[in-house]
Amino acid sequence: MVIKKQTFDDDEILIFDEAVIYKRGGYWQFRLWLAKENKYARKSLKTTNRSTAIEKGKECYLELYANIKLGKTYFSIDAKRGVELYLVHRQRDVDAGLIVKGRLGTIKSHLNNWLDFIGRDTKLKEMQRTDCEDYYHARIKGTAGVAARQVTIQNEQSTINAMMDWLFKRV
């Protein structure tokens, strides 16, 4: 992480030589350039007090830096990209002989049903624990008059949970 800006105004304070806090509309804001994502991470510090802003800015920086060291991204990927990453991971399992090609096809089918339910453009970090509560009922109702069997839905839920666990650890 390298700071792009080199000169600072009176209402701009450098945090750990990489981040900046600055005043906007009376409130202090935090900004850090994320080279890997090619974007600024921005956050309101929700204070008008300079010393409080400095402390909150340091906390914000340390939290972001720790997550970056863990390999986590600041900006979210969408559900479609998450499924693509997981399928690449599972393709390596096929190549290693851990699962057969037919199982990978089943996993793709399960995750396509989930994408149809949740929406392909849904941001993963914006999802709540309750967003898939009605998945079972939607799949039982079925599409085009064809309902899924209970065992199929249970297997789909297992696949979805495995994918979400893998994504949480790596993305």
Quote the CA–CA distance of 68 and 165 in Å, as a whole number. Answer: 19
**Verdict on whether the full-model pTM lies above 0.85:** no
Asked if 18 and 36 sit in the same domain, the reply is yes
pLDDT of res. 115: 93
Asked if 36 and 103 sit in the same domain, the reply is no
Positions in the chain whose pLDDT score sits under 50: none
Span 71-105, pLDDT tens digits: 777 778 889 999 999 999 999 999 999 999 999 99
Domain end point (choices 39, 69, 99): 69
- 102 within some domain: yes
The range of the structural domain enclosing residue 159 comes to: 79-170
pLDDT of res. 128: 86
Asked if 83 and 151 sit in the same domain, the reply is yes
Quote the CA–CA distance of 62 and 55 in Å, as a whole number. Answer: 11
pLDDT of res. 2: 52
Quote the CA–CA distance of 147 and 33 in Å, as a whole number. Answer: 48
Asked if 57 and 107 sit in the same domain, the reply is no
- 47 within some domain: yes
- Nearest CA to 15 out of 74, 46, 70, 57 is that of 57
> How many folded domains does the chain comprise?
2
